[in-house]
Amino acid sequence: MTDPAPGPTEWGEGRHGVGPWAEEHPGEPAPSDPRFDPELLNNGDRRNVVDAYRYLTREAIRADIDSRRHDLHVAIENFSNDGNIGTIVRTANAFAVDTVHIVGRRRWNRRGAMVTDRYQHLRHHDTIAELAAYARAEDLTIVALDNTPGSIPLETADLPRRCLLIVGQEGPGITDEAAKAASMTCSIAQFGSTRSINVGVAGGIAMHAWIRQHADLGRAW
């Protein structure tokens, strides 16, 4: 079923989406596959999803992504109610990250996720210690992202395949506890005047670095 409260990229018809099945595929019967949503077939699909997922139910889309997810997890510390979590979630969805872990506060502004949190696995941890215990149990190597002295340049780092990437908060960066839990800390090369890159942007750069090393690009859209 379609959602009663549409998200920000689903308001009106806009530039996205397709009309009712009968308009897009005149003369063709509506699909009988149970993965298709009857309301979307009848009324059109204006969601912000790739064409391969048009008319599919949310559950069917999530199941398909589950079959294609990577061995990459991403965690973001949320001890000061960081507004970049939505950006991290949206980027993680684009790269089929296994799970986004939110450490600290449970509440966060979902608007920046642009509805992608509906298709992305999310998990909450109260503390870094709890996150680290999860990583050990799942055989994930923790990699921190921060531009601190002694960090390894992300551009030359060999990232582990089973990886849990931790990004810090805007401003303070990675906490000491997170740094101690990590097997390695990577930094992003910068050449301008700013002291640091936005956390959401930095997280996206780091996720893509992992994608370049480990993903099967032949499966990308």
Query: In this predicted model, what pLDDT tens digit does every residue of 87-129 receive, in sequence order?
Result: 999 999 999 999 999 999 888 888 889 999 999 999 999 999 9
Q: Are residues 130 and 199 in the same domain?
A: yes
Q: How many residues does the chain have?
A: 221
DSSP 134: H
Looking up tokens 């301008």, which residue turns up?
192
Task: State the Cα angle at 143 between 141 and 144, rounded to 5°.
Answer: 150
Domain, as residue range, for 111: 69-219
Residue 76 contacts residue 84 (beta carbons within 8 Å): yes
Q: pTM here?
A: 0.89
10 domain-assigned: no
Tokens of 209: 């670095």
Structural domain count of the chain: 2
Domain end (from 8, 31, 65): 65
pLDDT of residue 112: 87
Q: pLDDT category, 158, cuts 50, 70, 90?
A: very high
Q: Are residues 86 and 175 in the same domain?
A: yes
The residues near 29 (Cβ < 8 Å, ≥ 6 apart) are: none
Distance separating alpha carbons of residues 136 and 144, to the nearest angstrom: 15
6 domain-assigned: no
Distance separating alpha carbons of residues 129 and 168, to the nearest angstrom: 15
